[in-house]
Structure 1
């Protein structure tokens, strides 16, 4: 309605997390004499923008006007990353969309089992703290933020569908007791994703940091976990030939945390072997994993069919279930992200 009335020589941009529909709308409704410079801050509203990636897209603009926009945005103190709209959406799908799908599936599974995970010993401490805090952090936000990023991004459907497929395939191998096949698939995936990395440096995350931020009391002896959500993430990256480290320059804090916990698991051969053994021999998490598999496939279906209403219903129902603990989780989660980003220098 207002696009054709845009002032001559104006510069127009947007801060959406999915650029395909934004740019299409600009091109359709804005006059040709209007410049288009878009942007996207790759972090949430409660994260200090200083040092965080800020994508700037010079879609249709004279260099002089682009420089004006960049000067204004420099006040945020963010790290500028220059991409095309299509490249932005591809990287966002590779990092944010599938990461969100994993945490949304965890929350849905806990909800289905009527579990508050911080009250259960097997979900307190270490990697579990990251899972819980980030899951609650996501569910404390507006549903449409995640729905739009997943459904409107032309690249996200494939990633989310593959994550659901990886979850399903690995769960079937666990359920069937196919240890050799499971181990072979997981270790090949790990080699594909992490094989080219130099492991001489420190872990992105360590035990002391992981244990510090808990909503519950850590048990003296942690319950072994098969970490299906993490194994499926690495398998998904492998199947899609995604090397997550290639996207670190424009990664979100949540993605760095998720990459950190997967790296934590795969850089410790003894821990990974134990996880594979537990996946076959220990039935403690079978019902949880079943609900997690259902949840992953459910989110994938919503995205595949472009069903915003179903996405909203699924999100909001689980949001209401966890709502009483959002204030605590947000406080702990913010501190966790702040500390981890400071420790890793990211």
Structure 2
């Protein structure tokens, strides 16, 4: 903003806006951030009136507040999905063709990952590299992934359990599944493959690390719901779904230590999370683009189908969580 502002005459007023959703999502009811950076109240009110035709929920923030909340809700969330896509591509896996990746939580992971890679690389690179607040968070996510994976490899079940439950207590203050954002009947509806007859146990390193990252950074994700994206609400929804179900969370910890089914996938995911973090830390736009587009080419044949399913999933889930 400062670099842009210095090239403008002093009498030019500036009101920035940012719709917190992607293409294909109805703006009605979605957050629209307005920043009265250098403008009179009269000019700000005019912009607000013009944008009212979108039917969005207006959220007034400062530029710094916007950057911090965007990092909290978007940059680190995207890093998780980008790392999933990189891991699947590295293992030459189309997850919708593998029974262990179908149903429930996995449907959200697959659909959102494909939705992100079907978009333009610079959108995600800009959010990650050009926002100073985002770098620290993406670095912490990679660190959380690495540290949790090491505990899994070393078989340190009690230490892993203590760390997971400490993070859960910090992020999810209440227990129980009575008021979950998402439920099975919603999660199971949107699959690109045929759901297996029996649910496959999963270590869910991606989600364990996300909640660990929120805890380490002191982020309470519910505080940002007023200006959160659909993707963030779904990500929070499946994290909550896992962490507020005691039996499912214990099963997840047991699986992480005792079951090697996802070990190779978790290894590649750890590599990917660290690699994305390094590219962001170095401010490497070209490196970011190269990696993004190579994964994009791998998944490209299923983008159209995934986009249709993803749009319907977002619409349905937003009705439940909006």
Q: Structure 1 length normalisation: TM-score?
A: 0.92
2:301 aligned with 1:309? no
Partner of residue 233, structure 1: 210
Partner of residue 50, structure 1: 28
Question: SS at 1:187's partner residue?
Answer: helix
Instruction: Report the CA distance shift for 1:334/1:29 in structure 2 as closer, same or farther (over 3 A).
Output: same
- Select which of 151, 169, 179 maps to 1:173: 151
Partner of residue 214, structure 1: 191
The CA deviation string for residues 55-103 of structure 1, in whole angstroms up to 9 with x for no partner, is 0000111111111101001111000000000100000001100000000
The answer to which structure, 1 or 2, has the higher relative contact order (CA under 8 A, 6+ apart) is: 2
CA distance in 2, matches of 1:343, 1:226: 27
Question: SS at 1:115's partner residue?
Answer: coil
Partner of residue 104, structure 2: 126
2:259 aligned with 1:268? no
Question: SS at 2:132's partner residue?
Answer: coil
CA distance in 2, matches of 1:301, 1:93: 17
Q: In the TM superposition, what is the alpha-carbon distance from 1:202 to its structure 2 partner?
A: 2.1
Question: SS at 2:188's partner residue?
Answer: helix
Question: SS at 2:37's partner residue?
Answer: strand
The CA deviation string for residues 288-322 of structure 1, in whole angstroms up to 9 with x for no partner, is 00000000000000000000011001100000000
Question: SS at 1:39's partner residue?
Answer: strand
Which structure 2 residues correspond to residues 139-154 of structure 1 after superposition, within 5 A?
139-154=117-132
Partner of residue 322, structure 1: 299
Number of residue pairs the alignment of both structures matches:
322
Partner of residue 194, structure 1: 172
CA distance in 1, matches of 2:150, 2:137: 20
RMSD of aligned alpha carbons: 0.9
The CA deviation string for residues 230-284 of structure 1, in whole angstroms up to 9 with x for no partner, is 0000000000000000101100000000000000001100100110011100000
Q: In the TM superposition, what is the alpha-carbon distance from 1:200 to its structure 2 partner?
A: 7.5
Q: In the TM superposition, what is the alpha-carbon distance from 1:24 to its structure 2 partner?
A: 1.4
CA distance in 2, matches of 1:323, 1:24: 38
Q: In the TM superposition, what is the alpha-carbon distance from 1:343 to its structure 2 partner?
A: 2.1
CA distance in 1, matches of 2:128, 2:196: 37
2:111 aligned with 1:98? no
2:55 aligned with 1:80? no
Instruction: Report the CA distance shift for 1:279/1:86 in structure 2 as closer, same or farther (over 3 A).
Output: same
- Using the TM superposition, name which of 135-144 and 26-35 deviates more: 26-35
Question: SS at 1:58's partner residue?
Answer: strand
2:262 aligned with 1:292? no
In our comparison, the structure showing a higher alpha carbon Rg is 1
2:2 aligned with 1:24? yes
CA distance in 2, matches of 1:135, 1:60: 37
Unaligned stretches of 5+ residues in structure 1? 1-22
Partner of residue 257, structure 1: 234
Q: In the TM superposition, what is the alpha-carbon distance from 1:198 to its structure 2 partner?
A: 7.4
Partner of residue 343, structure 1: 320
Q: In the TM superposition, what is the alpha-carbon distance from 1:149 to its structure 2 partner?
A: 0.5
Q: Structure 2 length normalisation: TM-score?
A: 0.99
Question: SS at 1:155's partner residue?
Answer: helix
Question: SS at 2:303's partner residue?
Answer: helix
